[in-house]
Every structure is written in structure tokens, then in C-alpha cells.
Amino acid sequence: MRPFEFAEEPGTNHVLCKVFPVEAAMLTEDEAMRVWNMSEFTKCQLSQEQLQQTIANALQSLEENPPLPTLDLEESEPEPVVVAPVAERIDASCAIEIADDKMQAELIITAAHGGRHVETTEVKDLLVQNRISHGVEFQWLSRLVNEAQRAEPGAEVRGIVAEGTNPAAGIPTEFEFLVIPFEDRILKPQSRDDGTLDMHNLGDIEVVDVGQALVRRIPSQPGEAGSDVFGNTLLSEALKDTSFDQGEGTEVSADDPHLLIATRHGVPLKLRCGMKVDEVLVVRDVDLNTGNVDYDGSVMIKGDVKNGMCVSATGDVYVNGFIENARINAQGNVVIKQGVIGKPEVVKDPKGLEAEDACYVKGKNVMARYAQNVFLEAEDKVELGAQLLHCIVVGCRELHVGDEGKRKAKLVGGVANIAESAHIGTLGSVAGTTTLLRFDLQAVPLHDEMVELQTSLDEKLETIDGLLEAILALRKLKPTPELIEKARKAKNTVDQFREETDNLLKVIEEKQNLIEAEKKMARLHIYGQAFPNVELKFLDIEYKLKEERKSSQIGISNDRWCNL
């Protein structure tokens, strides 16, 4: 006869443990668990504490009232010594948890302990009770219900069953340019009648009159509304209209607040969200007849800038022809319709820009079709439509030689010092011409400053070590007022130097963080192909192309140049 038996209590969810009168040695928890694991109630929630108490009560009862021997010849079912609930059938339960922003509803199902499983219809009713009506994923809901039915008793199964829809982003203010700015025209060859492009004809320079419409502003538009899981409408955040960049020589029309018009005759120049109209000094050529030009404003040169001439301007400089071994220095943009040509021996001269015959072009942005044997410098961008050959780019934020649509635009030879990125059609040459691109224009001075700071830090740390040794030596001597004063002064100096070294460490860390930021911005975009013997450099991180490379994007990761 088994010492234990488990049975369901009628009318309840309880499972009873019946303990029969047997030898005390058989009434163990291990035996009870063996019988339990063979029963039909294994998925019910068993209370080990109640089971242990039931066994203890049975042992005590048998000790106090030992069973009497029976002489019955026929075996009969003995009455249990103790009958007590030790387990319970627990139905599965489910709940809905809603995110604070009401954009997600999570279903939480606690798996049954031998009881009834949660059905899909119950979950759907629960969603209705919680007023969840938007973004319900019924397929995922059914999957969670099935997963809970297979889960271990009491396990918690969770999953998102409804998600709100975020409102779509609004359409920002747009600006429609009604005239072609000079900068855009310079790099756009004109079409011939047969459909081909005339690379020498870039069109006439457009000049606007007083009152002429320049830019139309298209107001921002709200995006499509969204909804939370309750079906409440979420309106798209209204975007603030961007104001015109209202440059000199322009104003907003009195009849239309979304129209920018010219207030003077001149050349239209593009701003990010508007235009300006520049009054310009117009000359045919800059040569020995005109002499050098130094003008407070913008200069338009209809022809060429001849050998050895200089043009300086506080505004922009526009050259409709060529620049031949001359110097251009503008505080605004420099736009060259054709190209710039210098002498090949000068770019190799150790004197560099100081060389007598150096061809030098400087501006906020420098744009031309091509440049050869020239020093170029720009605060922002250097842009070449076709070629950059054996030039020294003294510095710029971005370098562009062609674009994705001009993959054959070439950068060959020379050195380019760039702060952020280079965008090149074809880089290098089949002949393996040495070409160096440096992306550490901003990082080099930061690094030099950091080296100076580190030297100062090392010197102060060395001084501190020496003072500490001196203080220790003074402490070993017989104290006198003079020695005590010397020790006090040394201690004050140590404290002061420690404060200074802490400040130096902070500044060094700041410089290092700035260098790391510059490193992340170093990018080379190759639209066509690159050839061997092109060198890339960022401080001491160097790389030389050893084989041809197709279109790619190269940057620095983990202190090495690699494809991104």
C-alpha cells in the first residue's frame, strides 16, 4: 500500500494529500514527491510547506495512536491518518500594461498551474475593457497566447500587442530660387543643340534689376496625424517657418510676405535660405593696363586675370575667364568660370606661398572648373568641376572635385589639407602620381598645443617629486624655525603645483576629445575610382593605397583607415 495519495477536493481547486497508516520510515518528503510526480496534478501549484506540515501531522498522529493489527482476511482500504490540502489548480491570468506615453500596450500572461489556459477571446475582451482600439497586432496576440499555453506553470509571457502611430514629421519650409545664383551657374555646362554639353560655355552671368523676384518661400506644412493605442488623435507638431536669409540688396515684398525681391541692380548670390544682390566693380581684364585691384566690395572680371597681377576684395570675386599665375584674395567667395593655372616649379618651391611667382587663390568658398599648379585656400569649400592637378590646398573644410554625377573629375598629385571631408570623382592616376590628402587641418594645432601642455605637465610633476623628496629630507633633520619655514613653503608650492597639474590634465583631456571629434569627421568619398600611391593622413594615422579601388567611402575607425 502506498503511504500517500493525491486527489482533487470536490467543488474546489484544491488538491488533497491523503496519508495512510504505514511505517513511519515510509512517510518521507522524498516518497511524497515521488508519488506527486506520478500523479495527474504535477502542473498544479504545490506548497512544499503544506506538504511538510501534512507529513509531520501524520507522523505525530501515528505516534500518538499507532494502528491496531487487524485479523480481517479480506483486505480493505484503510482510512487515511491525515487529509489536507497541499496544492491548488490556478487558472492562467492576463493583464494589460500601458506605457506612460500611451503609445504601447503590453500583454502579460501568467501561465496556468494545472488550471485553465487563457484564450484569445479573453485577451480581445481585455483589450476592449481597457479601451485599446488602435494598432492591435492580432497575429502577435495569438502567438503570445499559444506560447503561454506551452510555458512552464507560473511563467510570465510578455509582449507588445498594440502600438500607437507617431505623427509624421512636418514638411519644413522650402525655398524656391527664381533666378540662378552665380555660384550655381559656374559649374553647369550649357547644352548644345545636339544634346551634348559644351564644357567651355557655362552661360552668361545673370544680373537682376530692382524689384525682380529672387526667392519664393513655401511655408512649412504639418505632417500626418498619429494615434495612441486608445485611438486618440496625435497632431503633428507644427514646424516654425524659417525666415528668409535677407542679404544686402534684397527685401521681403510688401505684397507677398513669402517673396524676396531685389532692391538694387547687381549679381544674385545664394544664401542658405535666401539671396543677396551684390553691387560690383566691373573690369574687363586685370592686367598692366588696370594694375592690381584692391576694392572694398565685390569685383567682377569679365575677362582674365593676367600673369603676376593681384586682386583683393572685401566681398566676392567673379572671374569670367582664366587666372594665369596671379593672386586672388577675397573675404567672400571666389568664383572662376574657367580655370586657374600656375607655374609647376613654384608649387615645389620651399618658399611656398611666399615664392615670388606663386599662384594663389583664397576666399570663403573657391569654385572653378579646374586648377593646376596653384595654391588654394578656403574657409569653407574648395570646389572644382573638372580637374585639380598638382595643387596645394592650403586649407578648407571640404574639398569637392566633381560629384557623383562627374565620376571622371580628377584630383592628381599635390597636397590637400582638409578639416573634414573630400569628395572626389577620380583620385590619383594610372601612372601612380604621389597624391597626399591630409584630414588633420584642425587637429594639428590641437595636437601641438597638447604636446606643449604635456611638456609643462611633466615639468611640474618632476618639480613636485623633487619638492616631496626635499620635504622628507627636512623632516629627518632636527627641527628649527628656519627648517620648519622651508618645509612649509615647499608644501605650499606642492599644493599649488598639484592644482595646476589637475587643471593641465583637464585641458589636455579637452584637447584630446576635440581631436577625437575631428577624427570622426575625416571622410573620403570616391565616386569613380582611385589609383595606387594616394596617401591619406590624420596626424600619425597613415594609409597608402596600393591597388586600384572602386567607388567607396573611407574613414577612420579604431585609429586606422578603413572602408565605412
For residue 318, tell me if it sits in a domain: yes
Task: Kindly state whether residues 350 and 432 are assigned to the same domain.
Answer: yes
CA distances from 92 to 41, 44, 120 (A): 16, 11, 12
Q: What is the pLDDT of residues 327-342, one digit of tens each?
A: 999 999 999 999 999 9
Domain-terminating residue out of 251, 276, 301: 276
Indicate if the pLDDT at residue 196 is higher than 90.
no
Task: Kindly state whether residues 346 and 425 are assigned to the same domain.
Answer: yes
In whole angstroms, give the CA distance from residue 549 to residue 351. Answer: 35
CB 4 within 8 A of CB 31: yes
Percent of the chain with pLDDT over 90: 59
For residue 214, tell me if it sits in a domain: yes
CB 407 within 8 A of CB 527: yes
| Confidence category of residue 373, pLDDT binned at 50, 70, 90 | very high
Task: Kindly state whether residues 513 and 436 are assigned to the same domain.
Answer: no
Task: Kindly state whether residues 433 and 463 are assigned to the same domain.
Answer: no
CA distances from 66 to 60, 69, 252 (A): 10, 9, 109
Task: Kindly state whether residues 249 and 151 are assigned to the same domain.
Answer: no
For residue 406, tell me if it sits in a domain: yes
Domain-terminating residue out of 88, 123, 145: 88
Indicate if the pLDDT at residue 464 is higher than 80.
yes
Pairing of strands 310-313, 245-246: unpaired
Indicate if the pLDDT at residue 74 is higher than 70.
no
For residue 169, tell me if it sits in a domain: no
Pairing of strands 259-262, 213-218: antiparallel
Task: Kindly state whether residues 156 and 201 are assigned to the same domain.
Answer: no
For residue 236, tell me if it sits in a domain: yes
Task: Supply the pLDDT for residue 189.
Answer: 55
CB 536 within 8 A of CB 555: no
| Confidence category of residue 317, pLDDT binned at 50, 70, 90 | very high
Indicate if the pLDDT at residue 364 is higher than 70.
yes
Region 165-181 average pLDDT? 90
Task: Supply the pLDDT for residue 185.
Answer: 56
Task: Kindly state whether residues 507 and 533 are assigned to the same domain.
Answer: no
For residue 332, tell me if it sits in a domain: yes
Task: Kindly state whether residues 374 and 396 are assigned to the same domain.
Answer: yes
For residue 73, tell me if it sits in a domain: no
Task: Kindly state whether residues 335 and 362 are assigned to the same domain.
Answer: yes
Domains: count for the chain: 5
Region 146-170 average pLDDT? 91
296 CB-side CA count, 13 A: 0
Range of the domain at 501: 444-520
Give every CB contact of residue 91 below 8 A, 6+ residues apart in sequence. 112, 115, 116
Domain-terminating residue out of 138, 163, 188: 163
Task: Kindly state whether residues 535 and 423 are assigned to the same domain.
Answer: yes
Q: What is the pLDDT of residues 400-447, one digit of tens each?
A: 998 766 788 999 999 999 999 999 999 999 999 999 999 999 999 999
- Number of Cβ within a 10 Å radius of residue 84: 17
Task: Supply the pLDDT for residue 205.
Answer: 56
Task: Supply the pLDDT for residue 402.
Answer: 84
For residue 168, tell me if it sits in a domain: no
Task: Kindly state whether residues 512 and 529 are assigned to the same domain.
Answer: no
Cell numbers standing for residue 210: 530692382
Whole-number average pLDDT of the chain = 88
Region 373-387 average pLDDT? 95
Instruction: Please tell me the total number of residues recorded for the chain in this structure.
Output: 564
Indicate if the pLDDT at residue 76 is higher than 70.
no
In whole angstroms, give the CA distance from residue 201 to residue 199. Answer: 6
Task: Kindly state whether residues 340 and 488 are assigned to the same domain.
Answer: no
CB 316 within 8 A of CB 300: no
Which segments within 221-331 are labelled E, that is strand? 226-227, 233-234, 245-246, 250-252, 259-262, 267-271, 274-278, 280-283, 293-295, 298-301, 310-313, 317-319, 323-324, 327-330
